[in-house]
């Protein structure tokens, strides 16, 4: 079927076609950017934490009795908890991945006042202070060097920075500071103190939602006696232990409050709640948008069909088959939609430019425009199909009837 | 009542210009019953539309009841149409979703009458055409002749001085056509000027004057004796 | 005439139920989505200080040095918190304006009811007595501690009604004592307040913007030294500094506290600005504030909320997206209205022939569009109520609700939007040549 006559008849009375096209173009611009935003959020939520999420139970431990020997109590706790079937490892630390409290400090090449100026301290990683078992509790992966051991462990009351002399870096951080060669054995300054890198682990996310550089973390051996308690348990026993944890801990010592008992998956869920909410809302709006667009297209095509009933009848009387009539409306819609999608592609790009300038969003990947365009073409054609089928069933006899 | 001097109307598209009326001259006196005949495409309908202020013209003069129509804006033309002109169409053109009462009400609404006055006029007009009992019926529940009588009632309700009829009997069988024609003659006898477009030479002969339009001009006029 | 148009419009709406429903749905979805997002945005942008907003000021100081150009917020290089030294100095300055220093701490409270374990669910906060008046804390029983206590410190406490009920099993506990801090200190209740949790928590934006629970207990700021509680919130420093104890923290250049002052008129504000300038220069002479431009600033509540970007990007993006969605819905409605009205071309032609002017036809159709708009708006409000329920569930927040002004706003918006969309279709109808539709076809 030739497209020429279709275009000409559409151009003669363009209002309906223009409205459909405008709607599809706007929908494409919105949908492609939204799909992309959704994709970014989902990537964020699904990113590797670097730790064994499914096996981790965490809690906050806060002492209120001043007479408690916390150090001795921490040992008692560890022994008691390790006896519970399924428990593999126990640690106290200053914070946990995706969790609440966060300690960050500038990581510098040299002592303060260096000639390097602004380049001296390029990043501010989060640092974890815990016992020498922490890597085992978290299930970290060593890439080079060694884990921390008792000789690294140091006692400190400091709240400003770690008193440790040694540390492990995350792989990302190691590569940023030492792009050529190994970081192991090198010295860096954290919070004004020199620390020697003894190893590099694959990854462990920062506390909280992570910000822009979620992989920038450091591990130092500085045993804690309160703060965050992490227990690694066989994942099928985790719920059992969770239920009894508060009673067990308070039973061991009642001069403390054990609260915020959550599996790491629950911690992650809370941390990513905003992202999940955003994904649901974005997808909800896009779904409604597609429904509205489909109804709009169907409505206008039905109207066109009703308007051209006589013309359709005449064509049928002059020998057009049902298939021809169906093809006529489908190709008309195809032509309008394709034109609109071309326009919508530019609009999508313009909207993305605006979002880039106003918000911290990254450049739209073209594939999302194509995905959205494909969806729209499909929806638009489906919305046309029903009224077009109705058109194809118009009786040729209508041509000979007046009124 | 109506005076047209050298009225021209041109429809132009990209390719061609069609002269629907060229230097058309016509006068109709108060109280006259004039029929207009002519072949298809001769300009009869264009003449009727211009006479009824539904269309504008390109050049010439048109005085309706002494008023120069060319200088009026849409609102004034609509007002004039509403007060002085009544329309009767071949296809009746009743509004299908309104009952008879509401159909006759339409022109009165744009006149700004009070609701009691409208009610009186509607009832009187419907009685006049013998359909008062069916005021709450929808047009689709009536026969063609009855529908045309409602249309006449609608045209009469505003007491126009001038009635324009476009083939009012074209869609009716001969019995009904005769009834409608008799109704028009009765209205005319009460002083209302009527201009009627028709195909039917018998009907044309029943009027006082017949005008034949060919190619947008008056080609022939015939005077008939007053029908008794 | 309006009544007549309304009657005709309603009849016409009922005659084309599918098209009318589609149009109402399109408007309703657009209004529902945008109202949901706007309501949520408005709740976040809410200024809980209301009429006190213009007279309450957060104080900032450029308390950093060593030739650092700036440290803190990008826009003016000032940190949002203050050092303990500065808060102490500002409190003790010889000015008569109401003021309060503050910071939040975590504590464990012991209940006096049988079988209730100690809890750290109730956050504590050190404030001065002016805090209660400045931030409109409503006392149910008792009153703030005395001016004397504000100077010298004492174990007085003002607690929330919830905490009072949790500890004592009754709301009025004025004069009673309870155990808090290290499980051994006795505090005397001097006042009980109606639970206080303004959203956003504008009095201290360094912790959480929308905390689930407000403070449970207020203690006199003058007891900060003796009680030695570490803060629960941000501690930031601009150079490495050894801090091993609470005493170290109080002496340090770390910022971790907040300070507010009440200034009722421009004269007082000028006076306070001059005071901050003199103070900064004095500190500079004393060897602190060694940055190139020692300075201070005061920001009223409205400015403070904007400065701290309480509304996050997600909310702005969602409002923008929902408005674009509304736009698509309206384009949709234009198309459907056109379809709806073009079916009525014939009737419009008859009415024109019977004496209706273009304006009258235009008005008739616009009345119909307006009716559809109002219907769409009402349905949209129902959808918005549902949308806000979804937002509350998703964000686990309680702040997003429809308020009466938005109710009217939604109706006005949908009426306006529908009239706007109706103009084109209504013009098409009233401008069409009536004679085309009158001739039998």
A295 and C332 within 8 Å at the Cβ level: the answer is yes
- Mapping DSSP onto H, E and C, the string for A91-120 reads EEECCCCCCCCCCECCEECCCCCCCCHHHH
Question: Neighbouring chains of C at 3+ CB pairs within 8 Å?
Answer: A, B
From the list B110, B154, B158, the residue facing C356 with the nearest CB is B110
- Name the range with the highest mean pLDDT among A59-68, B164-173, C373-382, C390-399: C373-382
End-to-end CA distance of chain B: 23
Q: Does B91 touch chain C (CB under 8 A)?
A: yes
Nearest to C314 among A278, A295, A306 (CB): A278
- Please name the member of C15, C353, C358 whose beta carbon is closest to the beta carbon of B74: C358
The residue of chain A nearest to residue C18, with distances taken between CA atoms, is A299
Which of C38, C394, C321 is closest to A272 using CA atoms?
Answer: C394
Closest CA to A229 of A80, A14, A45, A378: A80
Q: Which tokens go with A366?
A: 């073209």
Q: Confirm or reject contact between B154 and chain C (CB < 8 A).
A: yes
Q: Closest to C243 (Cβ–Cβ): which among A37, A158, A355?
A: A158
Mutation pick from C1, C353, C432, C440 vs chain B, by most beta carbons of B within 10 Å, is C353
Question: Closest to A277 (Cβ–Cβ): which among C119, C395, C428?
Answer: C395
Angstroms from C62 CA to nearest CA on chain A: 20
* Residue of chain B whose Cα is closest to the Cα of C431: B74
Question: Is ipTM > 0.85 here?
Answer: yes
Q: What is the pLDDT of residue A103?
A: 86
Query: Which residues on C lie below 8 Å from B45 (Cβ)?
Result: 435, 439
A237-258 pLDDT, tens digit each? 999 999 999 999 999 998 899 9
Pairwise CA distance, residues A182 & A175, whole Å: 8
Q: What is the pLDDT of residue B227?
A: 46
Please name the chains neighbouring B, where neighbouring means 3+ C-beta pairs under 8 angstroms.
Answer: C
Size of interface B-C (CB pairs under 8 A): 79
pLDDT top residue among A318 and A249: A249
In whole numbers, what is the pLDDT of chain C averaged over residues?
90
Task: Write the DSSP string, C48-85.
Answer: TTGGGTTTEEEEEE----TT-S--S-TTT---SSB-HH
Q: Nearest CA to CA, how far is B46 from chain C (Å)?
A: 9
A353 pLDDT more than 50: yes
Q: Residue A66 and residue C335: Cβ atoms within 8 Å?
A: no
Q: Is B97 exposed, middle or buried (0-12, 13-18, 19+ CB in 10 A)?
A: middle
Q: What is the tens place of the pLDDT at every residue in C161-216?
A: 999 999 999 999 999 999 998 778 899 999 999 999 998 999 999 888 888 889 99
**Average pLDDT for residues A20-28, to the nearest whole number?**
93
Bridge partners of residue B214, in order along the sequence = B217
Q: CB atoms < 10 A from the CB of A400, how many?
A: 9
Most confident of A76-80, A316-320, B178-182: A76-80
B/e letters for A94-117, b = 16+ CB within 10 Å, e = fewer, are: bbbbbbbeebbbbbbeeeeeeeee
- Distances from the Cα of C146 to the Cα of B132, C149, C201, angstroms: 91, 5, 25
Question: Which residue out of C25, C38, C314, C437 would a mutagenesis test of the A interface target, given it has the greatest number of A Cβ atoms within 10 Å?
Answer: C314
Among candidate residues C33, C58, C37, C82, the one with its CA nearest the CA of residue C283: C82
Say if residue B85's pLDDT is above 80.
Answer: yes
For residue B228, name the pLDDT band (cuts at 50, 70, 90).
very low
Give CA angle at B101 (B100, B105), nearest 5°: 115
Residue A374 has pLDDT above 50, yes or no: yes
CB contact under 8 A, C318 and A277: no
Q: Do C357 and B90 touch (CB under 8 A)?
A: no
Using a CB–CB cutoff of 8 Å, tell me whether C290 touches chain A.
no
| φ, ψ for residue C260, nearest 5 deg | -120, 150
The whole-model pTM stands at 0.85
User: Which residues in chain B are contacts of C359 at CB distance < 8 A?
Assistant: 74-75
> For residue A346, what are the contacts with CB-CB under 8 A and spacing of at least 6?
none
| Mean pLDDT along residues C400-404 | 78
Q: Find the radius of gyration of the CA atoms of chain A.
A: 32
CA-CA distance, A187 to A196, in Å (whole number)? 4
Mean pLDDT of A53-60: 94
**Which residues pair with residue B193 across a beta bridge?**
B162
Mean pLDDT value across chain B? 88
In angstroms, the separation between the Cα of residue B228 and the nearest Cα of chain C is: 32
Q: Which of A136, A52, A146, A147 is nearest to A90 (CA)?
A: A136
CB contact under 8 A, B97 and C15: yes
pLDDT in tens, B44-76: 888 988 998 888 898 999 999 888 998 888 889
Half-sphere exposure of A29 (CA within 13 A, CB side): 25
Give me the residue from C4, C434, C440 closest to B109, CB to CB: C4
C357 and B75 in contact by Cβ < 8 A?
yes
What residues of chain C, 338 to 357, have a C-beta less than 8 Å from chain A?
338-339, 342-343
Instruction: Report the residue from C106, C237, C318 with minimal CB separation from A160.
Output: C237
- Tell me the backbone φ, ψ of residue B191, rounded to 5 degrees: 115, -5
In this complex, the residue of C347, C353, C440 whose CB is nearest that of residue B90 is C440
CA B137/CA A293 separation, integer angstroms: 41
**What average pLDDT does this structure show over B7-15?**
82
| Closest alpha carbon within chain C to A401 | C441
Closest residue by Cα to residue C15 from B134, B106, A305, B98: B98
C27: nearest CA partner in chain A: A292
C324 burial via Cβ count (<10 Å: 0-12, 13-18, 19+): buried
Q: What is the pLDDT of residue A178?
A: 94
Write out residues 393-412 of C within 8 Å (CB-CB) of A.
Answer: 394-396
The fraction of chain B above a pLDDT of 70, given in percent, is 98
The alpha carbon of residue A27 is apart from the nearest alpha carbon of chain C, in Å, by 7
Q: Which of C243, C313, C395 sits opposite A160 (nearest CB)?
A: C243
The per-residue pLDDT for range C122-156, each reduced to its tens digit, is: 999 999 999 999 999 999 999 999 999 999 989 99
Residue A3 has pLDDT above 60, yes or no: no
Inter-chain touch C350–B78, beta carbons under 8 Å: no
Residues of C with CB under 8 A from a CB of B: 1, 4, 11-12, 15, 346-347, 349-360, 433-435, 438-440
CA distances from B95 to B78, B111, B125, C8, C350 (A): 19, 18, 17, 12, 8
- Residue numbers of C between 164 and 223 with CB closer than 8 Å to A: 181-184
CB contact under 8 A, C439 and B107: no
**pLDDT at residue C440 tops 80:** no
User: Counting one residue from A and one from C, how many pairs have CB atoms under 8 Å apart?
Assistant: 156
Nearest CA in chain A to C326: A289
- pLDDT per residue as tens digits for the range C54-103: 999 999 999 888 767 677 777 888 999 999 999 999 999 989 899 999 99
CA distance C358 to chain B (A): 7
Measured CA to CA in angstroms, residue C316 lies from A31, A153, C200, C238, C303 at distances of 17, 47, 17, 32, 18
- Given a cut of 90, whether residue A402 has pLDDT beyond it is no
Q: Report residue C261 CA to chain centroid gap.
A: 21
């Amino acid at each position: 079927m030739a497209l020429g006559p279709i275009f000409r008849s559409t151009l003669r009375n363009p209002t309906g076609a223009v409205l459909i096209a405008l709607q599809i173009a706007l929908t494409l611009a919105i949908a492609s950017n939204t799909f992309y935003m959704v994709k970014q959020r989902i990537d964020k939520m699904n990113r590797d934490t670097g730790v064994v999420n499914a096996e981790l139970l965490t809690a906050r431990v806060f002492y209120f009795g001043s007479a408690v020997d916390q150090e001795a109590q921490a040992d008692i706790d560890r022994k008691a908890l390790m006896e519970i079937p399924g428990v593999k490892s126990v640690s106290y630390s200053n914070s946990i991945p995706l969790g609440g409290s966060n300690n960050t400090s500038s990581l510098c090449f040299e002592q303060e006042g260096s000639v390097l100026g602004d380049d001296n301290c390029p990043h501010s990683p989060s640092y974890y202070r815990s016992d020498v078992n922490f890597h085992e509790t978290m299930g970290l992966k060593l890439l080079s060097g060694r884990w921390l051991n008792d000789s690294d462990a140091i006692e400190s009351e400091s709240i400003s920075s770690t008193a440790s002399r040694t540390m492990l870096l995350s792989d990302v951080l190691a590569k940023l500071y030492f792009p050529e060669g190994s970081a192991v054995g090198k010295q860096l300054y954290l919070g004004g103190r020199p620390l020697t890198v003894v190893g590099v682990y694959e990854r462990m996310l920062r506390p909280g939602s992570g910000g822009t550089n979620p992989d920038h973390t450091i591990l130092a051996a500085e045993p804690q006696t309160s703060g965050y308690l992490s227990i690694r348990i066989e994942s099928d026993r985790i719920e059992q232990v969770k239920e009894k944890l508060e009673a067990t801990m308070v039973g061991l010592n009642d001069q403390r409050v054990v609260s915020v008992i959550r599996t790491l998956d629950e911690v992650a869920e809370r941390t990513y709640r905003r992202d999940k909410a955003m994904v649901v809302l974005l997808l909800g709006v896009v779904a409604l948008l597609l429904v509205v667009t489909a109804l709009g297209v169907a409505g206008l095509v039905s109207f066109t069909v009703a308007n051209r009933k006589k013309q359709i009848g005449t064509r049928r009387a002059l020998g057009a088959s049902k298939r021809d009539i169906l093809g006529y409306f489908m190709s008309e819609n195809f032509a309008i939609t394709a034109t609109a999608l071309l326009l919508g592609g530019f609009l999508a790009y313009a909207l993305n430019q605006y979002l880039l300038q106003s918000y911290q969003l990254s450049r739209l990947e073209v594939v999302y425009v194509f995905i959205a365009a494909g969806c729209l073409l499909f929806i638009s054609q489906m919305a046309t199909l029903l009224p077009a089928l109705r058109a194809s069933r118009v009786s040729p006899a209508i041509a000979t009837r007046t009124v | 009542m109506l005076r047209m001097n050298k009225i021209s109307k041109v429809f132009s598209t990209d390719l061609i210009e069609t002269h629907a009326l060229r230097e058309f001259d016509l006068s109709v006196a108060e109280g006259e019953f004039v029929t207009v005949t002519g072949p298809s495409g001769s300009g009869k309908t264009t003449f009727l539309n211009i006479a009824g202020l539904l269309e504008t013209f390109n050049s010439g003069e048109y005085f309706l009841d002494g008023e120069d129509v060319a200088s009026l804006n849409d609102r004034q033309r609509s007002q004039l149409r509403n007060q002085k002109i009544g329309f009767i169409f071949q296809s009746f053109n009743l509004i299908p979703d309104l009952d008879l009462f509401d159909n006759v009400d339409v022109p009165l609404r744009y006149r700004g009458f009070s609701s009691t006055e409208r009610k009186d006029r509607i009832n009187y007009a419907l009685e006049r055409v013998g359909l008062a009992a069916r005021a709450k019926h929808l047009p689709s529940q009536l026969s063609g002749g009855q529908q045309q009588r409602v249309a006449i009632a609608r045209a009469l309700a505003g007491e126009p001085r001038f009635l324009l009829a476009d083939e009012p009997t074209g869609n009716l069988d001969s019995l009904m056509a005769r009834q409608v024609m008799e109704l028009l003659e009765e209205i005319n006898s009460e002083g209302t000027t009527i201009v009627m477009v028709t195909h039917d030479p018998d009907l044309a002969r029943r009027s006082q004057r017949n005008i034949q339009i060919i190619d947008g001009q008056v080609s022939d006029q015939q005077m008939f004796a007053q029908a008794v | 005439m309006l009544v007549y148009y309304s009657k005709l419009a309603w009849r016409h709406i009922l005659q084309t139920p599918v098209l009318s429903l589609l149009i109402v749905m399109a408007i309703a979805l657009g209004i529902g989505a945008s109202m949901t997002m706007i309501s949520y945005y408005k709740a976040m942008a809410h200024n809980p200080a209301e009429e006190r907003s213009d007279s309450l000021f957060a104080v900032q100081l450029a308390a950093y040095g060593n030739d650092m150009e700036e440290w803190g917020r990008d826009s003016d290089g000032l940190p949002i918190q203050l050092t303990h030294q500065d808060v102490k100095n500002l409190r003790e300055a010889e000015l008569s304006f109401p003021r309060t220093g503050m910071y939040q701490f975590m504590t464990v409270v012991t209940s006096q009811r049988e079988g209730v374990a100690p809890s750290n669910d109730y956050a504590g906060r050190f404030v001065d007595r002016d805090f209660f008046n400045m931030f409109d804390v409503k006392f149910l029983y008792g009153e703030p501690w005395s001016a004397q206590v504000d100077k010298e410190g004492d174990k007085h406490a003002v607690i929330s009604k919830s905490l009072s009920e949790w500890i004592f099993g009754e709301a009025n506990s004025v004069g009673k004592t309870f155990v808090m801090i290290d499980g051994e200190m006795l505090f005397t209740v001097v006042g009980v307040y109606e639970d206080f949790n303004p959203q956003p928590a504008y009095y201290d934006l360094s912790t959480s913007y929308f905390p689930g629970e407000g403070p449970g207990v207020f203690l006199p700021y003058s007891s900060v030294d003796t009680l030695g509680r570490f803060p629960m919130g941000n501690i930031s420093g601009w150079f490495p500094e050894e801090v091993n104890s609470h005493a170290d923290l109080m002496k340090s250049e770390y910022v971790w506290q907040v300070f507010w002052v009440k200034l009722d008129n421009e004269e007082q504000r000028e006076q306070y600005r001059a005071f901050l300038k003199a103070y900064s220069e004095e500190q500079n002479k004393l060897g602190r504030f060694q940055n190139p431009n020692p300075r201070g600033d005061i920001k009223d509540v409205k400015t403070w909320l904007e400065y701290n970007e309480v509304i996050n990007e997600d909310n702005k993006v969602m409002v923008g997206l929902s408005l674009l969605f509304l736009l698509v819905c309206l384009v949709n409605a234009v198309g459907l209205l056109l379809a709806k009205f073009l079916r009525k071309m014939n009737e419009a032609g008859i009415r024109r022939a019977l004496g209706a002017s273009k304006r009258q036809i235009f008005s008739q159709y616009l009345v119909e569009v307006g009716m559809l708009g109002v219907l769409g708006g009402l349905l949209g409000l129902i959808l918005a109520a549902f949308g806000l329920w979804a937002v509350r569930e998703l964000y686990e927040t309680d702040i997003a609700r429809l308020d009466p002004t938005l109710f009217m706003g939604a109706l006005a918006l949908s009426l306006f939007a529908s009239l706007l969309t109706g103009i084109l279709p209504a013009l098409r109808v009233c401008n069409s040549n009536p004679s085309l539709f009158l001739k039998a076809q």
